[in-house]
Structure 1
Amino acid sequence: MTMRKIRKFSIIMPIVFLVCFVAGSAHLSLAQPRQQNPSSQPAPSMTPGPSPSEVSPDSFISIDFNDVEIEVFIKFISELTGKNFIIDRRVKGTISVISPTRISVNEAYAVFESVLDVHGFAAVDAGDVTKIIPSPYARTMSIETRLKEEADSPNDKIVTQLIHLKYADPNEVKQLCAPLVSKSSVVLSYAPTNMLIITDVYSNIKRLINIINAIDVTGIGKEISVLPVEHADAEELSKTIDSVFNAEQQAKKGQKDVILVSDKRTNIIIVLASQTGTERVKKLIAMLDKVTPKGNESIHVYYLENAKAEDLAKVLQEFPTKQQGDSDKGKKMAPVLSENVKITADKATNSLIIVAEKDDYEVLKEIIKKLDMFRSMLYIECLLMEINKDESLNIGTEWLVGDDTSINGKDVLWGGGFSGGATGGDPGYLQSAYSASTGQPSLLPPGFSMGVFGEAIQIGNVVFPNIAAIVSAYKKDRSYHILSTPQILTSENEKAKITVGKNIPYLTKASSGDTDYANYEYKDVGISLEVTPQINKDRQVRLEIAMEATKLESTTDLFQPTTLKRTITTVVVVHDAHTVVIGGLIDDALSSTDYRVPCLGSIPVVGWLFRSMGKAADQTNLYVFLTPHVLETKAEIDAIYDSKNLNMQDIEAGNIKLFKDKISVPTLIMNE
């Protein structure tokens, strides 16, 4: 305060006290001359009253000021309430207060805050002192902040009020309250907690709270809007936008403000929201509902030509991906994909559905092109040959005695004697030498047979059969025969299997009693060939071979036959169109037999008349001949077709060629 003001104050105050003391009135009037020429201004009116220092807080006073300097009024209130004030140098001007009724000291301080607010000033408490500053600066200082409404608060005190909204959108309420506060007041919204922050005089804040309580109710202001979608899928777009509002609502921990429903048939989105919420949805749709530029799609479909979609998808899914936080610095690493790349195989169309950004898709596309290549095919010709070297020699004399008799009205020769292995039966077993149907000998041994048949000899009452001497010489020699000539076409690295044979029943369990039942198990008997080829760039073929040959060895028991099984499992490498042979000695047996009549057969020279002997050698080999033909072009495939077509014509003409140019190979083996 300047010295001039102090002098004016010291002159005026005694006059005021003197007038109040003489008049004895409760009215108090303070006046101060204006800063202009004092002689040109009339003196302010004053109403006498008690001194402020002599007034108790419970006393009632009347305040009446007319064009008094605001600093004088502040001084009066300071002495009246005992508060300490710090006055900003920008606080200047005159005030007028008319109070015809008496008020308490506390009410006088409320009048003081109202006077300051009217003139653009504010009283801000700061500990034991109160700052008198311009109102715009008061909003940025440490004013009182309240979370709840207080009933006994001074009406014109500047405070910051926090208001929690239950249903209404804070941004919308902010726009509503902005015109209802002064220019120096502040209204802020905070969407994450659904809060409204207002800094103003408390009287106006109370008014705003009443308005907000009236509009902050559930469902108010919501409307239904139908928004068409032109380019995007309405269902997918609705999910995307809804996820945005869900995340926002979870942060607010309030009720959901926007409800979205998509209609797939008409490709529209139905919105239930306030006007502001609807506008936000419209903006999001306008941003997202665009034609995807070619090459920038996030979902790609790649149709495979040669590879299998399921197998290729598994390979690509194992490709390394870049994790979050990976650094490209340091040593050089192999190319990686983003971790959000998704690859799915569609079996029906043999295609890959790839969800990836453009850069990742370009990397994948180059890899797929290299893997989706035409794989060479392989035509395999196979010859399964069994070579039996079976030689036997039977030589000797067989004695038979017999007679003719009648069986079923026909004459046949019967008898018994010594047989050294003839096909007719075991030695000494009575057997029929004639066919019951033709009357001709039917059980003579194979090879050369000679004999003499005569009438029966009768001595007394005893009849003896005639003696027949049969000399036989038999030799058997068998060479080889082809078991099977399978041929099969397969792709590289694909397992191929061909089976030629039949199923025969095996009796596994049988029971008799009250209920007879039997369990059978069927087994394959025949030729089975399984081949897995692998072809290199030089047209060399690596073959993984598994061959099995099974045949019936004995059928004496119909449901429990004996089978002979031979298998070969190996891996060979052979050049295109070349033949490889696998196999070898399977069985080598040598047997010798000697049939003779006891005693008589042991006599030198003469004993050969009562003796028969034989020798047999059995050698069995199984060979597998394989000839692969690599097919990489259409011309090579057509050549195989033409060759097989000619074979069919040869078969129709009677010139059967089961395995061209291969029949001579076993002959060389036998000559060895």
Structure 2
Amino acid sequence: MQIQSDLTPSLSTGRQVCTYLLWGLLCWSALVPPNLFAQGTGSQPAKVSLDFNEIDIPVFARFIGEITGKNFVLDETIKKQGGKISAFSPTKVSPDQAFNMFVAALEAARIAVVKKDGNLYQIVPMGDLPPERGVFVYKLKHANATDLAAVLTNLVARSQTVAQMTPGVRPPIRPLTEFEAPVQVFADKATNSIIVSSTKNAWTHIHTVIRDLDIRRKQVFVEAVILEVQVDRLRQLGTNPTEILGAANKGSFTGIGGFNNTPPELTTIAQALTTGAAGAATGGITPLLNTVNVRAFLNLLMNLTDTNILSTPQVLAADNQKAKIVVGENRPFPTGQAQGITGGTLVTIERKDVGVTLELTPQVLEDDLIRLEIKQEITAIAENVAQTIGSGSASIPVGPTTTKRSMETTTVAQDQQTLVVGGLVRDNVTLSERKLPLLGDIPWLGWLFKSQNRQTEKLNLLVFLTPHLVRDDADMAELNARKLRDVNTLQRENRIEEPTRLKQDILERLEPPLIVPYTSPTDKPSRP
């Protein structure tokens, strides 16, 4: 009995110890994350479940280090600032996948993981990392690489200048973005590509700018008719040309240089054109005429015997691109002379263009409006003007004398609207002499047998311009078809046919040759 009584307290004490150990184990298992009890099978790494919401970065790093065997060193800034991140995985993931999720969660918080030696990793703020640079190539589809590279270089230079300014100073120009590292832009003409050396962050912004600028620009096809007509002939057209040609409020004929400000007392189109130089500077617009009436007006002028068509240029220009047409001759002009070693005279010359020069710069605006910068110049060799000074052996060549008429203006027109620029008038002087042979050549007395006539004609220069907006391939195809119809119409009006068809028609019109039966020389006609 004594032994039993001695054993009872010992058994009671052992039960209490086991109870305490069990409660401690349960409490410890509740505090430790359940993913620590994940088990693997065979040689494969154990998979874990991530269910962390707003967990401290050091705690998360310690957990990832235990399951991956990697060592992490936290930056002092992160230790001081602290921070919490979250990561969730509905299914179990491998340790490598858990590490990738850990890195992604840190990047979302603007924190980077930098690998050092071996399994050592450093956790630092992204702002402390050196920017990762690269070379990026963008192949352009529509824009010009050289022009676009100049724009981007200017943009980057301004942005970097602003980034280097003293903090707190407001920049004069707001840049697209402030690049954290130098950006270099190059143009490759061979492949029409843009090459950019920058960080990924800077390339993201530059790529957006390039994509917005690399678009297909509209084009403008401009038809021009440059002609001279006598003012006297213009007066014969009538007192009100707008009524004759059928003025309408929604046509496509616009006059510049006198048409817009025609006073009531001016009753002829000639006076309106003659006084139109001042009106060209104001850029006014006359009532509109339709295209058919414009063609009728041109045909009327062409039927006049004193109408001289100088040129009919046609040009297709891209938006905001200058187009230039020169129709003329390259004439020599003496610039000096010198005595040669052998006794001859050496004359130096310089060649210059003489003719019609037309420069156009179209700019496509909203609502199919077209802004035209027009620069037109006409030079010609003056007639009846001496090209030498002095006479005989003492004559000095001075070269031909040229006349020049130029005009420069800017106007706005609608698509397929015809503009007329006028007011450039010049005097054409003609000298004629009538005399009796021999008697008219007698000095002094010869004036009794001859007469001279001086006739002055005023020639007015008219320039008709019709811009056509070409938006896409469909407009270009329509324009080509229309020009082909114009060529066919010209061929029919002038009876111009294709060479093959012309030869075929000529052969068909030829009469068949007369066939004579062959008679042998030995054959003798039979007598009846």
TM-score (norm 1): 0.36
State the structure with more CA Rg.
Answer: 1
Which structure's residues are more often helix, by fraction?
A: 2
TM-score (norm 2): 0.45
Which structure's residues are more often strand, by fraction?
A: 1
Q: Which has the higher contact order (CA 8 A, sep 6+)?
A: 2
